[in-house]
Amino acid sequence: MKKLQTIITILLFGAVVYLWTGNTPKQHDDYATNLEIAKEFLTLHGAEDLAKQSELLHDDLLWQPPMYGSNQYGKKEHILALKGYHDKFESILFTPDNWLPGVLAETGELDGSVRTYGKWTGIDTETQKKFSLTSYHTFDFKDGKILTGGDYFDIGGFLTSFEDETAE
């Protein structure tokens, strides 16, 4: 038992020294700013403020929608998609499980991008059914705006869940 206590003490001391000497991973210089932009973008979605959301999108935006087999589209198409969500749902709220820094695929180095897993809740305007949808979102930035990104969730199952259960 005394050996185990000694080992634990040494490990804890090593961890404290490691953290104290500043050997902790550093964030990309742009991550904190980009994180706030991503948070604002999702908050504005819940507020259904399409004009302010649009201001956060780069003119060269490429977005990956959640539909199976879909291709990326541009800013104009993404604004229309956002409007479609605003028209179809009310009381939209994104609750993040976490916010994660993104990395370059080639090197694994931090690149300032933002990732998040979380849950959307709200109400389908037509049926008044409440929903809870787990999702994953990505955001890459240029010039302080969202340049590329994507939504990843089961859009087909999600939309089908609002159909009338008595319909055949």
Taking 80 as the threshold, does the pLDDT of residue 7 lie above it?
Answer: no
**pLDDT value of residue 84:** 95
Contact 95, 121 (CB under 8 A): yes
Q: Which residue has the higher pLDDT, 164 or 88?
A: 88
Q: Nearest to residue 27, comparing CAs of 90, 139, 110, 93?
A: 110
- What integer pLDDT is reported at residue 22 of this predicted model? 58
What is the residue extent of each domain of the chain? 30-160
pLDDT band at 132 (very low <50, low <70, confident <90, very high): very high
**H or E segment at 32?**
helix 31-47
Q: What is the pTM of this model?
A: 0.81
Return the CATH class of domain 30-160: alpha beta
Write a three-state SS string for 82-107.
HHHHHHHEEEEEEEEEEEEEEECCCC
Q: How far apart are CA 99 and CA 41, in angstroms?
A: 14
Q: What is the mean pLDDT of the chain?
A: 88
CA atoms within 13 A on the CB side of 29: 1
CA distance to 97, 138, 150, per residue, from 135 (Å): 10, 10, 10
β-pairing verdict for 110-124 and 89-103: antiparallel
- Residue 15: is its pLDDT beyond 60? no
